[in-house]
Amino acid sequence: MKEERCASIAAAETHYEILEVSESSSLSEIKAAHRIKALKYHPDKQNQSLNQDVEEIETAFRKIQLAWECLRDEQKRQEYDDTLRRERERDNVALNNAVHVKLSEMECEICEIEDEEDGESIQSQDEEQVESQKLYSYTCRCGDLFEILEEELEDNDNMSNNGIWECNSCGLSIFIVKDIVTNAS
């Protein structure tokens, strides 16, 4: 149950980021920030005439409430801060242990990506959506291949891997240094 109240930190945003406060903020500062955000996103306070996504607003409100429930309690906040610190330390270790590979050193080719609908490939020629995208590859020390789509490189800022990919065969990690500009940038 504690995990539900003080959600996983692997998420893109911390509770502090959700409430737009610093980690050193006092309880009164956190309370004030919560009040402002809760009023802004409370489902009952929304103007239904606007074309706002109700689900999106409700999700934002739940995140705000979850952050407040965790940060308002001194013990929960301390546990959350400790977990946040340990996760950052683990990420730093992973980054320091990863082989740094420049994007310019990776092989690059254009590949065709078929859009899939409901998990199945689209069969009809009329409906088929094909997108060209760069595929970067790097040969691992074990002979296996890291293959990373350009889209994944651009999305990694929003993901928990922080630009670190692990080989499926031997476990070697690489960190991709973006030393060239990609199309999606």
Confidence band of 5 (pLDDT split at 50, 70, 90): very low
Does residue 172 fall inside a structural domain?
yes
Interval 32-49 mean pLDDT: 84
Same domain, 108 and 30: no
Same domain, 86 and 162: no
Question: For residue 22, what pLDDT is reported?
Answer: 95
Find which of 16-25, 42-51, 122-131 is predicted with most confidence, using mean pLDDT. Answer: 16-25
Same domain, 11 and 82: yes
- Specify the pTM: 0.55
| Beta bridge partners of residue 114, listed in sequence order | 130
Does residue 183 fall inside a structural domain?
no
Same domain, 107 and 83: no
- What does DSSP say about strands 173-177 and 99-102: parallel, antiparallel, or unpaired? parallel
Q: Which of 91, 114, 140 is the last residue of a domain?
A: 91
Token couple for 84: 């946040």
CATH number at residue 7: 1.10.287.110
* Full strand arrangement of the beta sheet holding 99-102: 99-102, 173-177, 164-166
Number of domains within the chain: 2
- Window from 6-20, 25-39, 81-95, 111-125 with minimum mean pLDDT: 111-125
Q: Which of 91, 126, 156 is the last residue of a domain?
A: 91
Residue 108 belongs to what domain range? 100-177
Interval 45-50 mean pLDDT: 62
Residues 119-139: tens digit of each pLDDT? 444 444 455 677 888 999 999
Same domain, 149 and 68: no
Same domain, 122 and 161: yes
Question: For residue 127, what pLDDT is reported?
Answer: 55
Same domain, 170 and 124: yes
> In angstroms, rounded to a whole number, what is the distance separating the alpha carbons of residues 171 and 52?
44
Residues 72-115: tens digit of each pLDDT? 999 999 999 999 999 888 878 777 888 989 989 999 999 887 76
Backbone angles phi, psi at 109, to 5 degrees: -140, 160
Interval 7-32 mean pLDDT: 84
Same domain, 154 and 120: yes
Q: 69-105: b or e for each residue (b if 16 or more CB lie within 10 Å)?
A: bbbeeeebbeebbeebeeeeeeeeeeeeebeebebee
Same domain, 113 and 164: yes
Question: For residue 32, what pLDDT is reported?
Answer: 97
Q: Which of 42, 71, 91 is the last residue of a domain?
A: 91
Report whether pLDDT(160) > 60.
no
